[in-house]
Amino acid sequence: MAYDFDIYIKQHINLSDEDVQLMRSMSLEKTAHRKEILLKPGDVCRYKMFIISGMVRLYRTREDGSEHIMHFATENEWMTEPESLNHGTPTTYYIEALEDSHLLLWTKRDFTQLCVAIPQLKTYSEDIIAKNLAMTRERVFNTMSATAEERYDDFIRDYPDVFNRIPLHMVASYLGVSLKTLTRVRQAQVKR
């Protein structure tokens, strides 16, 4: 139910019932089925997305068809492709629903308007970007300096819920290793 959004948003930024109603009134409600592509290369990303239920992933492919996952988002998390959304330029990313999902969408224009009406929302959304940057820097550091096994353990520690809901080949794709390497890491751990 979309009520979950009301509860979530009130907990995270102190909003009046009227503010929540305002946000809801400008949102688009959407359901996406498992494997539905919500954004693909060449598209312009039009929405900021809040996940009420389900799960989506952000990924890119190389010319050889290999997929590389940048981000997962589950219940009560946000997803967008800011580069394309902000500048109105074609994206290079895919966004795909990994489960049947229930979403709320806002266009850039509506969200900007909301930020004017609700200053806390502006602060909150800036915070999300800054956190994303810190996370992504952390990930660069890990990818460069940690072994496949360390990164695998970190992933399970940091995203246990995601881990339990996705196939292993997507874990591999997120970690930046082949499925083979992941299998080997897991096998080595079983033997201990």
Partner DNA sequence: GTAAAACGGGGACAAATGTCCTCTTTCAGG
Partner DNA sequence: CCTGAAAGAGGACATTTGTCCCCGTTTTAC
168 belongs to the binding site for DNA (CB under 7 A):
yes
Nearer to DNA, 14 or 164 (CB): 164
- Residue closer to its own copies by CB (options 46, 176) is 176
Task: Kindly state whether residue 123 participates in binding its own copies, applying the rule CB under 8 A.
Answer: no
Q: Does residue 68 interact with DNA by CB under 7 A?
A: no
Rg (CA), the chain: 18
C-alpha span between 186 and 192 (Å, rounded): 10
d(CA 176, CA 170): 10
Please tell me the distance from the alpha carbon of residue 121 to that of residue 23, in angstroms, as a whole number: 10
Q: Name the residue among 111, 103, 53 with its Cα closest to residue 85.
A: 111
x/- map, 79-98, its own copies, by CB under 8 A? ---xx--x------------
Query: Rounded CA gap, 108 and 47, in Å?
Result: 6
Q: Could you say which of DNA, its own copies, none residue 31 binds, taking C-beta under 5 to 8 angstroms by partner kind?
A: none
Q: What's the rounded Cα separation, in Å, for the pair 3 and 18?
A: 14
Q: Tell me, rounded to whole angstroms, the distance of Cα 45 from its chain centroid.
A: 14
Q: Examine residue 34 and tell whether it contacts DNA (CB under 7 A).
A: yes
Question: Under the criterion CB under 7 A, does residue 179 sit at the interface with DNA?
Answer: yes
* Residue 121: count of CB within 10 angstroms of its CB: 19
Q: Is 112 in the site for its own copies (CB under 8 A)?
A: no
Cβ proximity to its own copies: between 133 and 188 the closer is 133
N- to C-terminal Cα separation, the chain: 44
**Nearest residue (CB) to DNA, 18 versus 63:** 63
179 contributes a contact to its own copies by CB under 8 A: no
Query: C-beta of 67: minimal distance to its own copies in Å?
Result: 9
Say how far apart CA 72 and CA 169 lie, in whole Å: 14
Let me know: does 94 contact 41? Beta carbons within 8 Å. yes
How many chain residues interact with DNA (CB under 7 A)?
19
Give me the 148-177 binding string for its own copies, x by CB under 8 A, dash otherwise.
----------------------------x-
Q: Which does 86 bind (CB under 5 to 8 A by kind): DNA, its own copies, none?
A: its own copies
